[in-house]
């Protein structure tokens, strides 16, 4: 047991050494219990982590620290999506060596793999031995919608000694509505759980939960801050993006009226595609796309004003055939003229994003025709929490009146912010200047000093 604790401590120290002092203070805040403040102060750490600042890593390192300090305590790690829960499990097991101490609870029995820490059976169908394993585990990870699974496991009597008190962490709070948060707390109380502390991790400027009810616009993190007045731990250093892309993100944060800007960590400040192991064969690239794909241009904005306009498609979404064909052509050329560490490009190297499912669907269709179906192509909303070395963002609209649909909605302005911040070393934005220049967010992006501008030509998509 002491050897295991030593290995965990070594991994914690290694992780802490990768981040700055503010990040480490945020981790320390997770170690405080809710009643450990002065003069009956309620301690509720909220970590405000913009893209690439390592907020999930802060949460998982904080968990590991708590496990070492309170080995009998159980931590319930709640996420809004299954993807976020998978990321948390991977970080705890791979990065912090918590194999056999962290388990992910899912609703799908076919996903069950005890060796990988995944349990897909409802608590009622588990054997007493399996229940004891989960009750003695230090961390149970699940979605907020499935939180009853974790609480029921703790409440079932199978002869295991289990701590009555636990610590609850909520990741990606921007996607959690206050009613869902309070319902999870209600379920915990109903099952006899007495939380010893709480933490929330997230970026309040990420995309909110989709709802038509104005009363539900506020996310759980904003609600707690507004009601309690507690301070947040602001992570200002990002460890994901090349500085040119980071500058674009700061331009968007200014448009969103964010209270602080991001700084690039030294290890990623000048990390372009070649620094990430990509080899570019300039001679294999089509002349018209050479400047777009050049790794020395981390941020490229392609003006698609000269291309065709958007159209409505099945289901009411929007697509732009010319812009989709251009995105597909860029993908094809990227896969033809780039290699990474001697291998061909795969789905982890490149992604095509768009705010509109209609555009995503049409691009997927074109990629299948070109035998490039392994390219990751998703909506901006589904891309949250993910990152790729190169991102192509298609904004679709090319309306002479300047109409941009829901992208003009104040609550959904973060579509651009989220889409751009998925890129590590190369960001290619396809947008019509004539259509988008009326809007502050898009104009700020266009005017980013580090951006390389190219005007698309009609013959490129013919």
Express each pLDDT in 170-220 by its tens digit.
Answer: 999 888 988 899 999 899 888 888 788 889 999 988 887 665 566 667 888
Task: Please indicate, yes or no, whether residues 129 and 194 belong to a single structural domain of this protein.
Answer: yes
Rounded-to-integer distance, Cα 172 and Cα 216, Å: 16
The pLDDT confidence band at residue 72, using thresholds 50, 70 and 90, is confident
What's the full length of the chain, in residues?
Answer: 462
Say what the pLDDT of residue 70 is. Answer: 84
End of a domain among 202, 235, 268? 235
Taking only the tens place, the pLDDT of each residue in 76-87 is 999 999 999 999
Tell me the CB-side half-sphere exposure of residue 100, using CA atoms within 13 A.
4
Residue 127 zone, left/alpha/beta (φ > 0; ψ -120 to 50; rest): beta
Tell me the CB-side half-sphere exposure of residue 110, using CA atoms within 13 A.
0
Contact predicate 143/78, CB 8 Å: yes
- Complete DSSP assignment for 9-64: HHHHHHHHHTS-HHHHHHHHHTTS-TT-SSTTPPP--EEE--TTS-HHHHHHHHHH
End of a domain among 175, 209, 235? 235
Say what the pLDDT of residue 215 is. Answer: 63
Cα 161 to chain centroid distance, Å, stands at 36
Task: Please indicate, yes or no, whether residues 179 and 261 belong to a single structural domain of this protein.
Answer: no
Q: What is the mean pLDDT of residues 1-24?
A: 90
Rounded-to-integer distance, Cα 301 and Cα 20, Å: 32
pTM of the predicted model, to two decimals?
Answer: 0.92
The structural domain count of the chain equals 2
Say what the pLDDT of residue 153 is. Answer: 85
Task: Please indicate, yes or no, whether residues 231 and 248 belong to a single structural domain of this protein.
Answer: no
- Complete DSSP assignment for 352-391: EEES-HHHHHHHHHHHHHTT-TTSEEEETGGGTT--EEEE
Task: Please indicate, yes or no, whether residues 30 and 157 belong to a single structural domain of this protein.
Answer: yes
Task: Please indicate, yes or no, whether residues 228 and 312 belong to a single structural domain of this protein.
Answer: no
Task: Please indicate, yes or no, whether residues 220 and 270 belong to a single structural domain of this protein.
Answer: no
Greater pLDDT, 261 or 219: 261
Task: Please indicate, yes or no, whether residues 221 and 289 belong to a single structural domain of this protein.
Answer: no
- Complete DSSP assignment for 177-243: -HHHHHHHHHHHHHTT-EEEEEEEEE-TTS-----S-GGG-S-HHHHHHHHH---EEE--EESSS-H
Say what the pLDDT of residue 265 is. Answer: 96
Task: Please indicate, yes or no, whether residues 57 and 85 belong to a single structural domain of this protein.
Answer: yes
Q: What is the mean pLDDT of residues 400-427?
A: 92
Task: Please indicate, yes or no, whether residues 198 and 261 belong to a single structural domain of this protein.
Answer: no
Q: Residue 311: helix, strand or coil by DSSP?
A: strand
Rounded-to-integer distance, Cα 86 and Cα 62, Å: 18
DSSP-derived letter for residue 270 is T
> DSSP strand E in 120-163: where?
139-143
Task: Please indicate, yes or no, whether residues 11 and 76 belong to a single structural domain of this protein.
Answer: yes
Task: Please indicate, yes or no, whether residues 216 and 251 belong to a single structural domain of this protein.
Answer: no
End of a domain among 185, 213, 235? 235
Strands 232-234 and 237-238: unpaired
- CATH classification of the domain holding 392: 3.40.50.300
Contact predicate 44/346, CB 8 Å: no
Comparing C-alpha atoms, which of 194, 144, 133, 190 is closest to residue 170? 144
The pLDDT confidence band at residue 409, using thresholds 50, 70 and 90, is confident
Say what the pLDDT of residue 422 is. Answer: 97
Say what the pLDDT of residue 357 is. Answer: 95
Contact predicate 35/16, CB 8 Å: no
- Tokens representing residue 279 in the block: 């080899």
- Tokens representing residue 418 in the block: 């989220």
| Domain region containing 420 | 243-461
Task: Please indicate, yes or no, whether residues 251 and 284 belong to a single structural domain of this protein.
Answer: yes
Q: What is the mean pLDDT of residues 33-52?
A: 72
Mean residue pLDDT across the chain:
90
Q: How many CB atoms lie within 10 A of CB 219?
A: 26
């Amino acid at each position: 047991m002491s050897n295991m604790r030593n290995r965990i401590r070594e991994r914690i120290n290694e992780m802490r050494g990768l981040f700055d002092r503010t990040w480490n203070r945020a981790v320390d805040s997770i170690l405080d219990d809710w009643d450990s403040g002065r003069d009956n102060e309620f301690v509720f750490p909220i970590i405000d982590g913009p893209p690439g600042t390592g907020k999930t890593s802060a949460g998982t390192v904080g968990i590991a620290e708590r496990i070492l300090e309170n080995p009998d305590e159980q931590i319930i790690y709640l996420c809004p999506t299954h993807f976020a829960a998978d990321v948390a499990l991977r970080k705890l097991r791979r990065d912090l060596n918590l194999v056999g101490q962290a388990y992910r609870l899912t609703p799908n029995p076919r996903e069950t793999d005890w060796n990988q820490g995944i349990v897909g059976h409802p608590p009622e169908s588990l054997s007493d031995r399996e229940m004891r394993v989960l009750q003695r585990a230090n961390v149970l990870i699940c979605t907020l919608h499935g939180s009853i699974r974790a609480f029921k496991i703790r409440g079932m009597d199978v002869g295991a000694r289990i701590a009555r008190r636990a610590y609850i962490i909520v990741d990606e709070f921007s996607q959690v509505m206050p009613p869902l948060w309070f319902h999870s707390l209600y379920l915990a109380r109903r099952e006899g759980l007495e939380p010893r502390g709480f933490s929330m991790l997230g970026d309040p400027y990420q995309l909110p939960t989709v709802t038509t009810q104005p009363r539900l616009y506020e996310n759980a993190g904003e609600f707690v801050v507004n009601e309690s007045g507690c301070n947040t731990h602001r992570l200002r250093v990002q460890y994901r993006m090349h500085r040119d892309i980071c500058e674009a993100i700061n331009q968007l944060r200014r448009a969103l009226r964010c209270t602080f800007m991001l700084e690039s960590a030294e290890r990623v400040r000048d990390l372009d595609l070649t620094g990430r192991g990509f080899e570019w064969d300039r001679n294999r690239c089509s002349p018209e796309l050479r400047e777009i794909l050049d790794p020395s241009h981390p941020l490229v904005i392609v003006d698609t004003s000269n291309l065709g306009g958007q159209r409505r498609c099945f289901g009411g979404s929007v697509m732009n055939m010319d812009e989709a064909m251009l995105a597909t052509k860029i993908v094809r050329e990227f896969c033809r003229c780039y290699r990474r560490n001697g291998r061909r490009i795969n789905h982890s190297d490149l992604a095509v994003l768009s705010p509109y499912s209609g555009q995503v669907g049409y691009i997927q269709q074109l990629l299948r025709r070109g035998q490039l179906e392994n390219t990751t192509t998703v909506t901006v909303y589904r891309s949250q929490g993910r990152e790729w070395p190169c991102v192509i963002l298609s904004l679709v609209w090319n309306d002479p009146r300047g109409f941009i649909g829901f992208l003009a909605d104040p609550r959904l302005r973060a579509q651009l912010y989220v889409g751009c911040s998925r890129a590590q070393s190369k960001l290619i934005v396809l947008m019509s200047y004539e259509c988008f220049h009326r809007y502050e967010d898009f104009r700020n992006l266009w005017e980013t000093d580090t951006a390389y501008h190219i005007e698309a030509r009609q013959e490129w998509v013919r």
